[in-house]
Copies of this chain bind each other. A is one copy, B any other.
Amino acid sequence: MSRSPSDVPNPAVRRLSLYLRQLETLAATDVATVSSRKLAQSLNLTDAQVRKDLAYFGQFGRPGVGYEVVPLIQRLRGIFGTDRTTHTLIVGAGNLGRAVAAYGGFRAKGFELVAVFDSDEKKIGRKVARLPVQPLEELPEVINKHDVRMAILAVPAGAAQAVADRLIELGIRGILNFAPTPLQVPSSVTTRSVDVAAELEQLSFLTSAE
């Protein structure tokens, strides 16, 4: 029944996103309710795990029936804070930054991309996902104007820490880091890193021996 992030096991939080994805799929096919067992099976988890994860936030299942899909979706969005739009910006308009910017799912998932930045003068002014690429100098104004809380970092490894420092200084609280380098941030800031090479290494290891 607790709600504070620190009280919920981290692995459970990661699974909540999976539940939400799956529930959205179910809603799209007009499924009204789903049991913890069915939800678990579709994600290769156990039913007890699904129930326990959801129970961290309250009791919204009905014995004998299961969970109502649409209300549970709304509840999960509320938990994530994505029932309201969160403004997000991207720094780095290279291949990866542009690809992420082009991802159409932001709005439907509760995020709105409000600006794209790059330090390369040649890229300034070009349109990326209908937004003009802006120079880093304009970060303060944009962050203030749109009350941006989260940033996506798609810059080269060498520039990542400096850009992150600047973003944090300007009030950004969460950073999704695509650079293959770990960021040092104060504990008040959260980062998640996506490193394609590291993921491939994991796969290579896990598929190797046996």
A79–B181 Cα distance when bound, in Å, is 21
Q: Tell me whether A80 and B201 are in contact (CB under 8 A).
A: yes
Residue of B whose beta carbon sits closest to that of A197: B109
A122 at interface by CB-CB < 8 Å: no
Per-position binary interface string of chain A over residues 178-210, scored 1 when its CB falls under 8 Å from any chain B CB and 0 otherwise: 001110100001111011111111111111111
Q: Tell me whether B180 and A21 are in contact (CB under 8 A).
A: yes
Q: State the interface size on chain A (CB cutoff 8 A).
A: 65
User: Which residues of B sit under 8 angstroms from A18, Cβ to Cβ?
Assistant: 182, 198
A61 at interface by CB-CB < 8 Å: no
Q: Tell me whether A17 and B198 are in contact (CB under 8 A).
A: yes
Known: A4-B210, A192-B199. A43 touches B81 (CB 8 A): no
A95–B129 Cα distance when bound, in Å, is 11
* CB proximity of A43 to chain B, nearest CB, Å: 5
Known: A98-B99, A208-B5. A176 touches B203 (CB 8 A): yes
Known: A98-B99, A99-B98, A207-B174. A88 touches B44 (CB 8 A): no
Q: Tell me whether A100 and B42 are in contact (CB under 8 A).
A: no
A34 at interface by CB-CB < 8 Å: no
User: Which residues of B sit under 8 angstroms from A22, Cβ to Cβ?
Assistant: 182
Residue of B whose beta carbon sits closest to that of A204: B81
Residue of B whose beta carbon sits closest to that of A183: B44
> Within residues 1 to 28 of chain A, which ones have a CB less than 8 A from any CB in chain B?
3-6, 13-14, 16-18, 20-22, 25
A142 at interface by CB-CB < 8 Å: no
Among B105, B110, B184, B204, the residue within 8 A (CB) of A110 is B204
